[in-house]
Structure 1
Amino acid sequence: MRPRSLALAASIALLPLTAASLGLSSAQAATTPNAAAPRVALPNTVTPAVAHSQKKGDVAAAEQLSVAVGLKLRNTADLDKFLADVANPGSSVYGQYLTPEQFAARYAPTQADIDHVVRYLTSHGLTATVSANRQVVDVKGSVDQIQAAFATHESAYFDADAQRNFFANDAAASLPSDVANLVEGVSGLSNHTVRTTRLAKPNNATPNATPSGFGPSQYDGAYNLNKVGADGTGVKVALWEFDGYKSSNLSTYDTQFGLSGPAVSTVSVDGANYDSAPGQGQGEVELDSEIVRGVAPKATQLVYEAPNSDQGEIDMAAKIVADNQVSVISISWGSCEPDTVASVMTTVSNSFKQAAAQGISVFSASGDDGSRDCTRSTSGSTVKAVDYPASDPYVTGVGGTNLKVSGTTYSSESAWSTAGGGVSTQFSKPAWQTGTGVTGTMRTVPDVSSNADPQSGFAIYTQGTSAPGWQVYGGTSAAAPLWSGYIALFNQKAKAAAKPNLGEANPAIYKVANGTSYGTTFHDVKTGANQDFSTKTGYDQVTGWGTPVADALTTALLGGSSSTGNTVTVANPGNQNGTVGTAVSLQVSGTDSAAGQTLSYSASGLPAGLSISTSGLISGTPTTAGTATVTVTATDTTGATGSTSFTFTVAGGSTGCTPAQLLGNSGFETGSAAPWTTSSGVVDNSSSEAAHGGSWKAWMDGYGSSHTDTVSQTVTIPAGCKATFSFWLHVDTAETGSTAFDKLTVTANGTTLKTYSNVDAAAGYTQRTFDLSAYAGQSVTLKFTGVEDSSLQTSFVIDDATLNVG
């Protein structure tokens, strides 16, 4: 705890939050929850597992729980209309996607409604945090406080079918009617439902020293992904994960197949960050990343990592749409619908609606247990069931096939016998789900498919039983990131053609599939079945509409060829060579079959330091050695395009990089902040927290009350330099347990390098190091942001920070 005059602050922190302490106006403060209002039971807030599990006793009253309270959207009829219009090329608002701020202003709960719910929750001693998209209130407190707030009873149970212990509320949660009217559901009262991977391996799978199974050239060639004329440049993809990865494994994959692109980075949700010690799901995360890299090597991948829980899933969905960094989300984890709390699905679906409104496509694996998705979970193999979140109407469910190739060319395809598919019991059939083979009144999955059978699996480099190695993986977990990578290519092409992101994919996919180009844009898979459904001509509940013919599908999704029939041709300049530190000037030119057209040029895959003008001049000074595949696209005024690709090899050369340490006042020993910029009181020499070296350090947080501290400095990394950022970090805390309540986020130019929390507390200092070579030739702002909640201090102490170049 900070050794400052905080006795008064500490005593205030122990009191229930009042309207004044929440910073509310007197008008808002008058809107207090009605303690006498009748309580209303919240439907779908009890896990189905309670019905067949054995109660073992009460959960200890002092045990700490964290619960997510989902809030209802407003103006939902208008939202539904907007989502239909923004995906309709014939609408005046087509492609005019919203920002998170615009979505919140139109459809999120009002601030007054949020305050009303928060006041009720904090009146029971719970701490409350509202998500950035204003749809979720995360609360934490003791079991006693939770039970009082939601009028529930928490018990310990044993599920004999699943052979696991869990806790759960015995009956539905309830709230006073004036609060309940604002609430979608309450999640986290049980820890039974967990998300599992949709990953499969051949029975004889063992790690090997060399790769076998499909590599990028085979699946890119089979599905014509290599003919789209894009590489993902400028597009960001979110990977939806409940485990972590090793960067070294991803690098080995890239090296093996000659791929290069932006470094994969982690975005922590609710304090989760598994990368230092990935668990059983490591293979899933690395499969997802490596497949996206193989399809769209230049796309930026953000790995969102969340606790594997109902609350973790809800908070991950809310954070991705609030961050609004990506245009594609790839999901390879799921749970069968009957075993998932319905209010959780509804709350997450609200975030998926926001994704659609913001132009974000979502692709999710349809499962690996066929039409009996609960086979390996509670409800069992006798129940026809589909996988969630693939069943959500705002998500594109991706099924699985067995692909055969001839070299790198498509040969044939059949359904994978355990590819997930069937009929949802949760979601009604959306208006766009029409066509040959589409029946019934409920949502059916999958929508599309691609290779997933482990017998025709993918070469993946990941952790084996004792060491990393090459393995062959399949599962619809491989199919979802393949489609997500393809949409990254599409969005790059769309931007070059001055058209919007694909956004919610299903309306566009079903429109193409129901049109005259279906036979040329999809491989219609007509052989094979899962337990209850067979493939057929057109749509089926095993492979959906089939697998992509990516170049033709791209043309169709972009609206087809130009009505004038223009042909744009870009002259190939031949393979190019350059040297780090030596200027480049290369003019690319093209021709148009129509007279009077002006061509506008764009390029993907350019070596770092180079750019292209709209007139086709590639110029700049390369900063990094390596070989890249460059694709130059020319677009005329009618939207017709033409592309050409060539390699650009940059040799090391003499960079003139003088070894140096760039940060000023790196140990804070001047006794003041400059050239750092810090919040008040951070630079400190008190004995309560020792410095790593010398007497001074940056002491962030440690107040035991809601507080945010920042420390930042901006420097320029010379072109061609290797840059290493290091600092010494000591974390001490009064928090207990494995939940991250207080967090320190380290960023470079706004990109998260790492998030630490009270869970990382330890004696002494630990050195943390990051490679910032990707920022060579740029000005970079390094920033530490420490956020402390309303109770129990956590101190983040930083010292001896360096940024070494050489």
Structure 2
Amino acid sequence: MQQTPHTRTNTRHTWPALAAAASLAAAGLVGLAQPAGAAQDTAPVHRLTTARSCAVATAPDAMACKALRVTSGSDTLAPSARSAHPAAIPSGYGPSELRAAYALPDTGGEGATVAIVDAYDNPNAEADLATYRAEYGLPACTTDNGCFRKVDQRGGSTVPVPNTGWAEEISLDLDMVSAICPACHILLVEADTSFLTDLGEAVNTAVALGARYVSNSYGGAESGADTTYDSDYFDHPGVAITASSGDGGYGVLYPAASPYVTAVGGSSLRPDDSARGWTETVWGGAGSGCSAYDPKPAWQQDTECAGRTVADVSAVSDPATGVAVYDTYGTDIGWEVFGGTSAAAPLIASAYALAGVPSEGSYPASFPYAHGDALNDVQGGTNGECAGSYLCTGAVGYDGPSGVGTPNGLAAFTG
């Protein structure tokens, strides 16, 4: 599905503007995400509006990427700090802000490979990745130096047809891995289509090629086939597999519902004057709830879901506190701001990579539950209606939209 062309205004503003974005979000002035191909909101530029990079999936077992692109109101967003080229600073959080917010180290990850699994091809993926990394002074990650590799779902070089929406997702994913783990190698596995059977084969290929960390920034409706998909595609002991919980609010998507993956929810992330220097609340678009098909893993102890509960952990996903991304495939060329749990899934996969190789036979989704004191507890905010339950409300301790919390260093991702 191709996205609707639009005109992007690239503006530069100062950090206090972030408070304005937060106020707009709190007041409900962040536009609802729109399916690709939908007419764009014609609201004034000060109103932050977004569009889905991928249309909502409606066919059985079809998946949609979970990237949300800011389409207007970007002048309310803060610029990235400490880039290599201050005169051309993009809007949105960059590597230094993200690592500072989550107390993640600037070094580590050497020898680790983080796999990104997406559908269709981004012909400009490597070139755009190079621009992002150069902007922020990160080491080059190229095919020639062995850091970057792109393969099809079978591990070969016959890439699928290009798609502008999924290309945006790919750029977002590659940039988030770069931001969190600059020393990691990146394996991009492009599935032939957005159906789960192809994406699942791509996951298996990523693991077969040696990736111990696999990010999946997509999801679709649950189905009775999910337990079969669990065993066919996602049951990889000793591999940290992450999946976006969604960007449509309260409700469960697959593969986030798989007990074999780390389901990644979303937060709104803003600087403040606390000791941490940042504060987080539940992002209203994050997916959460009780799976209708998948069983509860042993490490989950919450009481209102007999089966699997989504999510496990979370990270920044709110477009109003979005991340900087560089993407040139399509009509909106250059620096953009993105949100969605698509940003959070590769961020968490990269945190696992920094934390070290998971133990043999382990299921890394269990690790954060054993290290709750090494996470930021996300409190406040809601992603929908569930009678005030923790399943849709930011609560003390575990809650659905944010799981057991957001990274506070690496201890929660070891095991």
- Quick one: structure 1 residues 318 and 438, their matched pair in 2 at CA, closer, same or farther if it must change by over 3 Å? same
Please name the residue that 1:490 is paired with: 355
Equivalent position to 1:530, from 383, 402, 405: 383
The answer to whether the aligner puts 1:331 opposite 2:216 as a matched pair is yes
Cα deviations by residue, 1:588-630 (Å, 9 ceiling, x for unpaired):
xxxxxxxxxxxxxxxxxxxxxxxxxxxxxxxxxxxxxxxxxxx
Please name the residue that 1:427 is paired with: 294
| TM value normalised by structure 1 | 0.39
Structure 1: 5+ residue runs without aligned partners?
Answer: 1-161, 163-189, 372-384, 559-806
Q: Give the residue type in structure 1 aligned to 2:258.
A: D
Measure the CA separation in 2 of the matches of 1:266 and 1:427.
32
Query: 1:310: Cα distance to partner?
Result: 3.7
Measure the CA separation in 2 of the matches of 1:425 and 1:402.
27
For 1:50-199, what aligned pairs fall within 5 Å after superposition?
192-199=60-67
Measure the CA separation in 2 of the matches of 1:350 and 1:477.
23
Query: 1:424: Cα distance to partner?
Result: 0.3
Please name the residue that 2:113 is paired with: 236
Please name the residue that 1:282 is paired with: 167
Equivalent position to 2:243, from 364, 378, 393: 364
Query: 1:285: Cα distance to partner?
Result: 0.5
Equivalent position to 2:310, from 434, 442, 445: 445
Measure the CA separation in 2 of the matches of 1:330 and 1:500.
18
Q: Give the residue type in structure 1 aligned to 2:231.
A: N
Query: 1:354: Cα distance to partner?
Result: 4.0
Measure the CA separation in 2 of the matches of 1:452 and 1:256.
22
Structure 2: 5+ residue runs without aligned partners?
Answer: 1-34, 36-57, 80-87, 143-147, 386-391
The answer to whether the aligner puts 1:347 opposite 2:225 as a matched pair is no
Measure the CA separation in 2 of the matches of 1:276 and 1:314.
18
Query: 1:388: Cα distance to partner?
Result: 0.6
Please name the residue that 2:254 is paired with: 388
Query: 1:545: Cα distance to partner?
Result: 0.8
Cα deviations by residue, 1:421-456 (Å, 9 ceiling, x for unpaired):
01100112121112xx54331111000001000000
- Quick one: structure 1 residues 205 and 364, their matched pair in 2 at CA, closer, same or farther if it must change by over 3 Å? farther
- What is the DSSP-based 3-state SS (H/G/I as helix, E as strand, rest coil) of the residue aligned with 1:238? strand
Moved over 3 A (4+): 190-193, 205-210, 270-278, 351-354, 406-410, 499-503, 551-554
- What is the DSSP-based 3-state SS (H/G/I as helix, E as strand, rest coil) of the residue aligned with 1:470? strand
- What is the DSSP-based 3-state SS (H/G/I as helix, E as strand, rest coil) of the residue aligned with 1:225? coil
Does the 8 A contact of 1:352 with 1:394 survive in 2? no
For 1:703-714, what aligned pairs fall within 5 Å after superposition?
none
Quote the RMSD (CA, aligned, Å): 2.9
Does the 8 A contact of 1:332 with 1:480 survive in 2? yes
Equivalent position to 1:255, from 111, 134, 139: 134
Query: 1:477: Cα distance to partner?
Result: 0.2
Query: 1:351: Cα distance to partner?
Result: 3.8
Does the 8 A contact of 1:261 with 1:300 survive in 2? no
The answer to whether the aligner puts 1:317 opposite 2:203 as a matched pair is yes
- What is the DSSP-based 3-state SS (H/G/I as helix, E as strand, rest coil) of the residue aligned with 1:369? coil
- Quick one: structure 1 residues 440 and 543, their matched pair in 2 at CA, closer, same or farther if it must change by over 3 Å? same
- Quick one: structure 1 residues 460 and 502, their matched pair in 2 at CA, closer, same or farther if it must change by over 3 Å? farther
Q: How many residues align?
A: 333
The answer to whether the aligner puts 1:473 opposite 2:359 as a matched pair is no
Does the 8 A contact of 1:361 with 1:502 survive in 2? no
Query: 1:551: Cα distance to partner?
Result: 4.3
Structure holding more strand per residue: 1
The answer to whether the aligner puts 1:418 opposite 2:285 as a matched pair is yes
After superposing the two structures, state which structure 1 stretch, 216-225 or 312-321, moved more.
312-321
- Quick one: structure 1 residues 202 and 467, their matched pair in 2 at CA, closer, same or farther if it must change by over 3 Å? closer
- What is the DSSP-based 3-state SS (H/G/I as helix, E as strand, rest coil) of the residue aligned with 1:535? coil
Please name the residue that 2:19 is paired with: none
Measure the CA separation in 1 of the matches of 2:305 and 2:410.
32
Does the 8 A contact of 1:240 with 1:331 survive in 2? yes
For 1:650-799, what aligned pairs fall within 5 Å after superposition?
none
Larger Rg computed on CA atoms: 1
Please name the residue that 1:462 is paired with: 327
Measure the CA separation in 2 of the matches of 1:438 and 1:546.
18
Q: Give the residue type in structure 2 aligned to 1:445.
A: V
- What is the DSSP-based 3-state SS (H/G/I as helix, E as strand, rest coil) of the residue aligned with 1:305? strand
Please name the residue that 1:138 is paired with: none
For 1:582-593, what aligned pairs fall within 5 Å after superposition?
none
Measure the CA separation in 1 of the matches of 2:197 and 2:271.
42
Measure the CA separation in 1 of the matches of 2:157 and 2:141.
23
The answer to whether the aligner puts 1:548 opposite 2:413 as a matched pair is no
- What is the DSSP-based 3-state SS (H/G/I as helix, E as strand, rest coil) of the residue aligned with 1:217? helix
Does the 8 A contact of 2:152 with 2:159 survive in 1? no
The answer to whether the aligner puts 1:265 opposite 2:265 as a matched pair is no
Does the 8 A contact of 1:438 with 1:540 survive in 2? no
- Quick one: structure 1 residues 459 and 226, their matched pair in 2 at CA, closer, same or farther if it must change by over 3 Å? same
Query: 1:206: Cα distance to partner?
Result: 6.9
Please name the residue that 1:505 is paired with: 364
Measure the CA separation in 2 of the matches of 1:282 and 1:272.
17
Quote the sequence identity (%).
31
After superposing the two structures, state which structure 1 stretch, 421-430 or 409-418, moved more.
409-418
Does the 8 A contact of 1:327 with 1:501 survive in 2? no
| TM value normalised by structure 2 | 0.73
Does the 8 A contact of 2:355 with 2:411 survive in 1? no
Equivalent position to 1:397, from 239, 242, 263: 263
Q: Give the residue type in structure 1 aligned to 2:253.
A: D
Does the 8 A contact of 1:249 with 1:468 survive in 2? no
Query: 1:387: Cα distance to partner?
Result: 0.9
Cα deviations by residue, 1:234-281 (Å, 9 ceiling, x for unpaired):
001111110333111111000000111542211212578557844321
- Quick one: structure 1 residues 447 and 388, their matched pair in 2 at CA, closer, same or farther if it must change by over 3 Å? same
Please name the residue that 1:796 is paired with: none
- Quick one: structure 1 residues 310 and 191, their matched pair in 2 at CA, closer, same or farther if it must change by over 3 Å? farther
Measure the CA separation in 2 of the matches of 1:266 and 1:539.
37
Q: Which has the higher contact order (CA 8 A, sep 6+)?
A: 2
Measure the CA separation in 1 of the matches of 2:353 and 2:227.
27
- Quick one: structure 1 residues 327 and 464, their matched pair in 2 at CA, closer, same or farther if it must change by over 3 Å? closer
Please name the residue that 1:200 is paired with: 68
Q: Give the residue type in structure 2 aligned to 1:238.
A: A
Does the 8 A contact of 2:265 with 2:401 survive in 1? yes
Q: Give the residue type in structure 2 aligned to 1:478.
A: A
- What is the DSSP-based 3-state SS (H/G/I as helix, E as strand, rest coil) of the residue aligned with 1:202? strand
Cα deviations by residue, 1:18-67 (Å, 9 ceiling, x for unpaired):
xxxxxxxxxxxxxxxxxxxxxxxxxxxxxxxxxxxxxxxxxxxxxxxxxx
The answer to whether the aligner puts 1:220 opposite 2:86 as a matched pair is no
Measure the CA separation in 2 of the matches of 1:362 and 1:416.
22
